[in-house]
């Protein structure tokens, strides 16, 4: 659906303003659909994001601040998200041996299980959410990377 119909706005001042609104609306469109996938596993999109970061470590520990740096939303609170995941038994916290300010985080077997349960569905969803051909997706990624300067 065109943005104008989706939010019932007839016109935009210019294409730059429309692009801003289009990006915000499209993110909400994506997150809403992803959330429904996470729901049965009692996982939020941001908790999923943290688990993905931990999985990417392939066994080596990562500190809370490094998780924060890798998060999609730089303003989110990795400390509290890790605590939520720990309560669910999906991660463990360990004191960092070289710097006692830091805390090493590791994904558990249970955390890995949750990710593999989601793997196929997520891949399928991401593919169907984006109704573009391969050339168009490449172009979109190029434009988004360029947009941010």
Partner DNA sequence: TTACATTTAGTGTCTATACACTTATTTGAT
Partner DNA sequence: ATCAAATAAGTGTATAGACACTAAATGTAA
Which residues lie near a second copy (CB under 8 A)?
Answer: 1-3, 6-9, 13, 15-32, 56, 69-75, 123, 126-127, 129-132, 134, 136-141, 143-149
Q: Which of residues 118-147 bind DNA (CB under 7 A)?
A: none
**Residue for token pair 């729901």:** 39
In degrees and rounded to multiples of 5, residue 93 shows phi and psi of -110, 140
Among 22, 26, 57, 63, which residue interacts with DNA (rule: CB under 7 A)? 63
Residue 117 interacts with which of a second copy, DNA, none, CB < 5 to 8 Å by class: none
Residue 132 interacts with which of DNA, a second copy, none, CB < 5 to 8 Å by class: a second copy
For residue 45, what are the CA distances in angstroms to 58, 71, 96?
A: 21, 11, 27
Residues whose CB is less than 8 angstroms from the CB of residue 53 and which lie 6 or more positions away in sequence, other chains included: 62, 67, 70, 71
Task: Quote the CA–CA distance of 55 and 139 in Å, as a whole number.
Answer: 29
> Residue numbers of the site for DNA (CB under 7 A)?
28, 31-32, 35-36, 39, 44-47, 63-66, 68, 73-77, 79-84, 93, 96, 99-103
């Amino acid at each position: 659906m065109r943005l104008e119909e989706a939010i019932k706005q007839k016109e935009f001042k210019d294409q730059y303003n429309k692009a801003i609104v289009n990006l915000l609306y499209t993110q909400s469109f994506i997150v809403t659909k992803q959330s429904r996938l996470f729901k049965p596993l009692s996982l939020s999109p941001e908790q999923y994001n943290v688990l993905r970061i931990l999985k990417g470590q392939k066994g080596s520990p990562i500190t809370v601040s490094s998780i924060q740096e890798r998060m999609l939303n730089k303003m989110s609170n990795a400390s509290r998200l890790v605590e939520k995941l720990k309560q669910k038994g999906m991660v463990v916290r360990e004191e960092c041996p070289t710097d006692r300010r830091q805390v090493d985080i590791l994904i558990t077997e249970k955390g890995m299980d949750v990710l593999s349960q989601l793997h196929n569905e997520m891949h399928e969803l991401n593919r169907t959410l984006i109704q573009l051909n391969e050339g168009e997706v490449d172009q979109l990624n190029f434009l988004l990377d360029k947009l941010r300067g």
